[in-house]
Structure 1
Amino acid sequence: MTGRYPERVDVAIVGSGPAGAAYARILSERSPEATVAVFEVGPIVTSPPGAHVKNIADPAERASAQTRSEGPHAQESADRTGGIVKTTQRRARPGTFLLETGYQVEGEDGLPVAAMSSNVGGMAAHWTGACPRPNDSERIAILDADGSFDELLSEAERLLGVTTDAFDSSPYGDLVRTRLAAAEDAGRIATTRVQRMPLAVHRREDGNLVWSGSDVVFGDVTRANPRFTLFDESLVTRVLIEDGRASGVVVEDRRTGESAEVRARFVVVAADALRTPQLLWASGVRPDALGRYLNDQAQIVFAVRIRDLPTTDAEGGGAATGLSEYSGVTWVPFTDGMPFHGQVMQLDASPVKLADDDPAAPGSIVGLGLFCAKDLQASDRVEFSDRDVDGYGMPAMTVHYRLTARDHEVIARGKDEIVRLGKAVGEPLDDRPFVMPLGASLHYQGTTRLGAVDDGSSVCSPQGQVWDVPGLYVAGNGVIPTATACNPTLTGVALAVNGARHIATALAESPE
């Protein structure tokens, strides 16, 4: 899947995360005659390319894959604990790296722990796999208006391999859900009651869990497509714009330092919500909304010991990935009346270290997390320098980000709510919940947001095509225009499906 750069392709995709992989998959299914190339700045760290590192059984190999994902200055470290709970240090989770500078402007809140990954598969090699559907004001009205949103979400679930039964054998899952439901379900409709978290994970015939990464999104049809190529360690430094239209990319081979132009009929930038607008800026594509409406989700965490734990002979299972399957992952859906997205996870499924499990009663401690929807502001933005550069030689970023009075009110309410839910499940390990440093969610959105019309408040159409630049598409969580609290990957992939279908139709109507 790697090789020298071609002179020309039909579609050039920048970024190999779930959104970029979704474009490659849909085009392989709908436009099998089209040549498609994916360019990823980071290396291949798993086999198959883009797989989740949780599927790597050997801890040393898993740690190596995480280290190699940690950007232009990746290096081995004795501290592989990661996480940032209950510390003021700027620490990144394993597999990610922090912004070196520009993460906070004096007098503003900033995003002190804003982080990224550089590897084939992007953040999907390191994520929790949570794939809840958006609800109420999280939903995208323009797609609801034409009736397409739910079908696109269903297609995203297919590509990501979403299931709800992976942890059904967990001995404490039903107990956790029953107690949460008693505390929370009153007044909720069926779809928003406490339930199993939809997860991008499936169980193999041998009983072990397999977490989805971009490898699952690519699928066999993409890997078998002779017209598809994946180039790792390939930095796209510029989108070529000729006569107002995207015409290809300039790509630098990170191994040799050599650059090449790859011509393309369509260019899709699916880097992430920080690096996608960065590449557009570097390419001279600078609409008013570029980088604006930056949306992080304030994250509140709390740990409890399950009360009155039943006697069980369960041994935990999941040996291949080291997971002890005791309580699985439970979902408390967002509603406008309760503007939080809640997930309750067994400790070793959590991306951050909330506590040490109890060796005397393994699986008895669970972590609760509430994500808060942001009060969206155009002034929350990432800016790019025309002078300074980052570790890749791309325009340096500066984050402008403030919590509003409404944000502070929601966070205060969330702290009360998570304690209430935690006490319904068990005994708190601490008296107070912890608000994670801003940026910890890794759920950045809005910086290339879609809109119904080009009125200066959006970057692209509902299909992801950048306004006034035919042939140029943006993809990923940055395209989401709403204030969400739920994990955004499913929605980001759904929007990528919409864009990929748009390109497939254009290719069919105007074959070369």
Structure 2
Amino acid sequence: MDVAIVGSGPTGAAYARVLSELRPDLELVSFEAGPLLADPPGLHVKNIADAEERAAAQRRSEGLVASDSEDRRLRRAGTHLLPDGFQQPGEDGIPSLAMSSNVGGMGAHWTAACPRPGDSEVIGFIDNLDELLDEAERLLGVSTHAFDGAPFADEVRARLGRAFDDSRPTGRKVQPMPLAVQTRDDGRVTWSGSDVVYGDATRSNPRHSLFPEAQVRVLRLEDGCVSGVVVRDLQDGTEHYVAAGQVVVAADAVRTPQLLWASGIRPRALGRYLNDQSQVIFAARLRDVVAADAAEGKASGKPRIARQSGVSWVPFTDAEPFHGQVMQLDASPVPLAPDDVVEPGSIVGLGWFCAKDLQETDRLEFDDEQTDAYGMPAIRVHYTLTDRDLAALEQARQTVRKAAEALGEPLDADPITLPPGASLHYQGTARMGATDDGTSVCDPLSRVWGVDGLRVAGNGLIPTSTACNPTLTSVALAVAGARDIASTYPKQEGTLP
């Protein structure tokens, strides 16, 4: 095997796609510990029309151990929580640290938001980052026009713009959220999952194979070079060794460092600089919009978007170190009067994500004696919020209230601060660096320092303190790594050009 890819989320799929396009001569294999949910592989569960089938797919993504509903931690459908070790005495911990185990990974369940990083979020040592982000948008199918016909969307952005734009530079003003979503002529929407990233190039590639319920247990090394992977078939319990010239570990920000640790690959930064974006939510009801929107919709002739409507974006800036995701809804998240009629799109949910004050001590610790349900080293989380983090959270609460009041009537007394882990945007645990100075796990081409033939992928690579959704950036980094394999991996005689 030329390239073995561990994980089938958006970044693992990006490696398979780019290599299928640029090097169709290579033998590729992808391993996924979780089950296949739907056809095509990696389909976003929101695209499953039948509600019972969709719920069943979500349940199948929730790991090997049934969730304990008694501990009252925040749970999201399609994910499973770290069962224990999520909080140490005297620390904040990450109680809602969650993963998804299925073909497509978290990409089968995500909100599909793909904002670009700005200001200090940007990884400064990658010179061609903008071009890589362009390519990531192509692979994910990103659009800023998915909800052009959403009721009140223009008015939402106009009101937010009046409240925020004067102090913001060009490019960081209020705007439509870039989304990995496509809207059909009849108003139905299709959400991108790993199926979109794989694309026809991967699905039609006879040299690529995808194996679900195949857990990579350890990476094998010979003389400082990766030689292959040991895979457990979770259906029958058998183990198999698969030799590979290159291995890409794209498991997620928790299980990628866990697998490296289990394989004896333990650079100092592995699991450290853990970044979870603290999240504040609020809701508002638009005022004085029904008549105006009806006239606008009739004049434009645009189809009205059903269910979740417009999504707007208040970008991160260094002066306001958080990122706002503003989603219009057809139903109120809090009870209204029984006879109150909710106009579609007039209820607005606001989510503010805060950038973390990065610390080496915020980390995942792996146990060489105790194991988890998959037989891998058990994880303990060390994580604290600093004074800067608490100040940013307070600023976010004030700013999200300002946004709600600019839109109309807040629907609750105060914004809600969600428990740590609710963002699902964990980063930093396999972080990228410009030099091998002990503060990073891999180089700018995702190559693990000191181990030839091994690369890592996923949100864990992002080394900066970000507030924006990380998937677009992670896929961009995967593109760079896949291109490097394509350009440097030797061609064999008698293979395709």
Does structure 1 residue 173 correspond to structure 2 residue 156? Answer: no
- The match for 2:460 is 478
1:407 aligns with 2:399: no
Does 1:259 pair with 2:239?
yes
Equivalent position of 1:120 in the other structure: 103
Pair 1:435-2:417 in alignment: yes
Q: For 1:362 and 1:248, how far apart are their aligned partners in 2? A: 53
CA 285–238 in structure 1, closer or farther in 2 if over 3 Å, else same:
same
CA distance in 1, matches of 2:149, 2:342: 21
Q: Deviations over 1:74-120 (max 9, x none)?
A: 58x9x9xxxxxxx9920310000100011000100000000000000
* Aligned match of 2:57: 65
Paired amino acid for 1:459 = V
CA contact (8 A) 1:153 1:490 kept: yes
Q: CA RMSD in A?
A: 2.1
Residue from 309, 322, 328 that aligns with 2:289: 309
1:453-475 Cα distance to aligned partner (Å, 9 max, x none): 11100000010000000000000
Equivalence for 2:120:
137
The CA deviation at 1:61 is 0.7
1:272 to 2:252 alignment: yes
Q: How does 1:360-371 map to 2 (within 5 A)?
A: 360-371=342-353
In the alignment of these two chains, the number of paired residues is 485
Partner of 1:4: none
Structure 2 CA distance, aligned partners of 1:343 and 1:137? 19
| Structure 2 Cα separation of the partners of residues 299 and 208 of structure 1 | 29
Alignment correspondent of 1:110: 93
Measure how far apart 1:307 and its partner are.
1.2
1:284 to 260, 264, 272: 264
What's the secondary structure of 1:13's corresponding residue? strand
Structure-2 separation of matches of 1:348 and 1:53: 20
What is the Cα deviation at residue 508 of structure 1? 4.2
Structure 2 counterpart of 1:20, one-letter code: G
Partner Cα distance (2:80, 2:238) in 1? 25
- Check if 1:195 corresponds to 2:175: yes
Shift, 1:171, TM fit: 1.6
Q: Is the 8 A contact 1:42 1:120 kept in 2?
A: yes
User: Structure 1: where are the runs of 5+ without partners?
Assistant: 1-8, 80-86
User: Take 1:95 and 1:359, find their aligned partners in 2: how far apart are those partners?
Assistant: 31
TM-score, length basis structure 1: 0.91
Q: How much has 1:431 moved relative to structure 2?
A: 1.4
Which residue is 2:431 aligned to?
449
1:355 partnered with 2:334: yes
Question: What is the CA distance between 1:68 and its match in structure 2?
Answer: 0.3
Asked if 2 retains the 8 angstrom alpha-carbon contact of 1:31 and 1:507, the reply is no
Q: 1:317 deviation in Å?
A: 7.2
| Equivalent runs, 1:42-81 vs 2, <5 Å | 42-74=34-66
Tell me if structure 2 keeps the 8 A contact 1:208–1:318: no
Partner of 1:16: 8
Residue 243 of structure 1: how far off its partner (Å): 1.1
Q: Secondary structure at 2:19's aligned position in 1?
A: helix
Residue in structure 1 matched with residue 407 of structure 2 by the alignment: 425
Q: Aligned partner of 1:163: which letter?
A: S
The corresponding residue for 1:233 is 213
2:84 counterpart residue number = 101
Asked whether the 8 Å contact 1:267–1:472 carries over to 2, the reply is yes
Cα deviation 1:34-73 (Å, max 9, x = unaligned): 0000000000112211010011111111100000000112
Partner of 1:240, secondary structure, is strand
User: Residue 18 of structure 1 aligns to which amino acid in structure 2?
Assistant: P
1:3 counterpart residue number: none
| In 2, Cα distance between equivalents of 1:74 and 1:37 | 30
Structure-2 separation of matches of 1:348 and 1:137: 35
Which whole-Å CA distance do the structure 2 matches of 1:205 and 1:437 have between them?
39
- 1:198-226 CA-to-partner distances (Å, cap 9, x unmatched) read 00001235431100000000000000000
Give yes or no for the alignment of 1:346 onto 2:328.
Answer: yes
Counterpart of 2:317 in 1: which secondary structure? coil
Letter in 1 for 2:166: A
Displaced runs of 4 or more, over 6 A: 314-319, 509-512
**Secondary structure class of the residue paired with 2:29:** strand
CA distance in structure 2 between the aligned counterparts of 1:292 and 1:510, rounded to whole angstroms:
39
Query: For structure 2, which runs of at least 5 residues remain unmatched after alignment?
Result: none
1:464 equivalenced with 2:443 (yes/no):
no
Q: TM-score, normalised by structure 2?
A: 0.94
**1:155-193 CA distances to partner (integer Å, 9 max, x unpaired)?**
000000000001000121001000000000002122001
Indicate if the aligned counterparts of 1:317 and 1:324 stay in contact, CA closer than 8 A.
Answer: no
CA positional deviation for 1:21:
0.2
Q: Percent identity?
A: 59
Q: What displacement does 1:131 show?
A: 0.1
Cα 1:205/1:179, change in 2 over 3 Å: closer
1:69 partner amino acid: S
Instruction: Give the Cα separation in 2 of the matches to 1:239 and 1:508.
Output: 22
Whole-angstrom CA distance in 2 between matches of 1:482 and 1:209: 33
| Alpha-carbon offset, residue 341 of structure 1 | 0.4
- Tell me, in whole angstroms, the C-alpha distance in 1 between the residues paired with 2:185 and 2:37: 25
Secondary structure in 1 matching 2:171: helix
